[in-house]
């Protein structure tokens, strides 16, 4: 799909073409399940938190890759509703890492035209985390090139329950509830649906992530563990996306009569 940001300058177009990517058919919205931090750390004889800390470098690389390729929206599944059940030490470390990263990266992100926001049960996050998210949500002063969406304390089932409660609070009649109505009550109301979902670490699951919004997304699974994920892996996923025939339930082009 051609997006407002999918007209990168000539140098970028050359980089993309050299990587086998058509700059005019880059997905507008890419969603990522960042998985494998714990295994990456264990393989090195380290605690799981070591893997999360190294995962921040992969977040940076992925943001760079999204900017480089002209992706307009990037959603990262950073902390699920279920992640609250992990040991308290790990949860605390993840929240600290998040706050620290937001403090350190906010200026840099702004200067690159990245606007950051969160979806999920933000009220359940530690106050320091909420404050940092509040601070950065203004976004850059100039043009926005990329909306970086962090899914925090998020799960699709939580999101759907919230949406249904809101629709009931608004006294909607059954007839008023259409797919587009539901779209408007989800956390992602003002975002296009992801066209591509990437999951790292060799797991082939969606794990309660954007179940409604991923209805027609292309799914790319890679065995790379999240802390090893770099721009070349992101480009692999975009190439994979561009090689798929997107049918949305219709017949393939080749079998259609003109």
Are 197 and 210 in contact by the 8 Å Cβ rule? The answer is yes
Binding region for ligand FPP (CB under 6 A) out of 49-57, 134-142, 204-212, 245-253 = 49-57
Residue whose beta carbon is closest to ligand FPP: 38
Q: Is there a catalytic annotation at residue 208?
A: no
Are 115 and 139 in contact by the 8 Å Cβ rule? The answer is yes
DSSP bridge pairs for 150: 76, 118
Terminus-to-terminus CA distance in the chain, angstroms? 23
Nearer CB in complex with ligand FPP: 103/161: 103
How many residues of this chain interact with ligand FPP, rule: CB under 6 A? 21
Residue 76 in the binding site for ligand FPP (CB under 6 A): yes
Task: Kindly report the number of other CB atoms within 10 A of residue 170's CB atom.
Answer: 10
In the shown chain, the binding pattern of residues 28 to 47 toward ligand FPP, with x for contact by CB under 6 A and - for none, equals: ------xxxxxx--------
Among 81, 101, 153, 188, binds ligand FPP (CB under 6 A): 101
Among 30, 32, 52, 153, binds ligand FPP (CB under 6 A): 52
**218 in the Ramachandran plot: left (φ > 0), alpha (ψ -120 to 50) or beta?**
beta
Are 16 and 5 in contact by the 8 Å Cβ rule? The answer is no
DSSP bridge pairs for 118: 150
List interacting residues with ligand FPP (CB under 6 A): 34-39, 48, 52, 55-56, 59, 76, 78, 83, 94, 97-98, 101, 150, 201, 226
């Amino acid at each position: 799909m051609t997006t407002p940001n999918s007209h990168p300058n000539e140098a970028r177009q050359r980089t993309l073409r050299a990587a086998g990517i058509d700059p005019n058919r880059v997905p507008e919205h890419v969603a990522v399940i960042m998985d494998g931090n714990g295994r990456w750390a264990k393989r090195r004889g380290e605690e799981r938190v070591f893997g999360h800390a190294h995962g921040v470098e992969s977040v940076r690389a992925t943001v760079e890759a999204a900017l480089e390729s002209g992706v307009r929206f990037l959603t990262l599944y950073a902390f699920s509703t279920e992640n609250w059940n992990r040991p308290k030490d790990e949860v605390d470390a993840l929240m600290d890492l998040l706050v620290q990263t937001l403090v350190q990266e906010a200026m840099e992100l702004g200067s690159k035209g990245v606007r950051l926001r969160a979806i999920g049960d933000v009220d359940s996050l530690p106050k320091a985390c909420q404050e940092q998210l509040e601070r950065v949500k203004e976004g850059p002063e100039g043009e926005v090139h990329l909306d970086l969406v962090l899914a925090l304390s998020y799960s699709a089932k939580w999101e759907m329950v919230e949406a249904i409660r809101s629709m009931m609070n608004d006294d909607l009649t059954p007839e008023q509830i259409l797919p587009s109505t539901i779209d408007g009550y989800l956390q992602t109301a003002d975002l296009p649906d992801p066209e591509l979902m990437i999951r790292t670490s060799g797991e082939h699951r969606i794990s309660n992530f954007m179940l409604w919004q991923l209805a027609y997304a292309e799914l790319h699974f890679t065995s790379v563990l999240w802390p090893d994920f770099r721009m070349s892996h992101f480009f692999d996923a975009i190439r994979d996306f561009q090689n798929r025939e997107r049918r949305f339930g219709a017949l393939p082009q080749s079998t259609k009569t003109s």
